[in-house]
Amino acid sequence: MDVGIVHRLAGTKAKGGRFLSGYSLLFRRSDSIHVFRSSRYPAFMPLEILYRDEHIVAINKPSGLLVHRSEIDRHETRFVLQLLRNQIGQRVYPVHRLDKPTSGVLVFALSSETASRMVEQWRERSVEKRYLAIVRGYMPEFTHLDYAMRPPVDKYARNEVEKPPQEAITDFRLLSTVEIPVEIDKYPQSRYSLVEAMPKTGRKHQIRRHLKHLSHPIIGDARYGKGRHSRYFRDHMDAGRLLLHAWQLSIQHPYTDEPLTFTAPLDDIFSRLIERFQWCDALTDPQLMPRSTISDTQATTTTPPQPE
């Protein structure tokens, strides 16, 4: 058996000149090729560093990778903290979080003192966060949602009690929509929206829960989404991940007070959907798309396969 490794790095193409989503192992048996996706981040795959100086480092976290060890996934053996520490050769200190299935900008301090300085910006709500999401249905042009939420009960924590609702505020802006001629739910067509989410508070699962509350759940959300739509995207559009990406984060430098804005490009899965639905022009920053996609490929409209 001839074994080869398929990976994406800075827009490079996989074997045969074709992009493969995520990080996969490719096994060749005779004349057939089999691709197996894994949520585990390969040891040899470096994390994409967006910014680094002597005090902080910002990366583009891939979907499916935990920030640190957690009871949420006891069997996971690889974490951003470990991978980044090994990659840059020094200890890193988290100052905020992203859910395991969420991709995008993630910032770390390079000392405990720097971490303390940076955490204050999140406490003071001076950090500007922008996310992209693909959701079910057509959303309004703009939505300001002030909807308090109870913190999710941690089933792994001992003797944890339900806490009172906490303030949670998110602004949503519609970027574009699409309708496909496929009956997935109870209608002959299925509609989706590309939205930008701007959370003003930082509650756990805030964007995901707020979109569920608005009846526009994120595609690929196993906990708060609609299974039929998520399965269709997984099975027919090669998009089996949560379609939520932290595309931009703006902070002040902890020592110079210089404004810093980090932008994280979309991965292959997300960017292919942007192309497929002809949403490239709706993106507010061309840096979001991988370098090889917008210039080399024109989005085309195809007839989507019907669910079996």
Point out the residues that are catalytic.
Answer: 99
User: Contact, 6 vs 48, CB < 8 A?
Assistant: no
- The torsion defined by the Cα of 221, 226, 229 and 231, in degrees rounded to 10, comes to 60
φ and ψ of 294, to 5 deg: -65, -40
Ranges of beta strands (E only) in the chain are: 2-6, 24-29, 32-37, 48-52, 56-61, 93-94, 103-109, 128-136, 142-146, 169-180, 190-199, 244-252, 259-263
DSSP for 126-181? --EEEEEEEEESPPPSEEEEE--BPPPP-TTSTT--PPPPB--EEEEEEEEEEEES
- Residue 121 is which amino acid? Q
Q: Tell me whether residue 282 is exposed, middle or buried, using C-beta atoms within 10 angstroms of its C-beta: 0 to 12, 13 to 18, 19 or more.
A: middle
Instruction: Locate 143 and state its tokens.
Output: 């939505």
φ and ψ of 48, to 5 deg: -80, 115
| Residue from 109, 110, 128 nearest 119 by CA | 109
Q: How far apart are CA 240 and CA 217, in angstroms?
A: 15
Q: Tell me whether residue 90 is exposed, middle or buried, using C-beta atoms within 10 angstroms of its C-beta: 0 to 12, 13 to 18, 19 or more.
A: exposed
Dihedral (CA of 136, 137, 140, 145) sign: negative
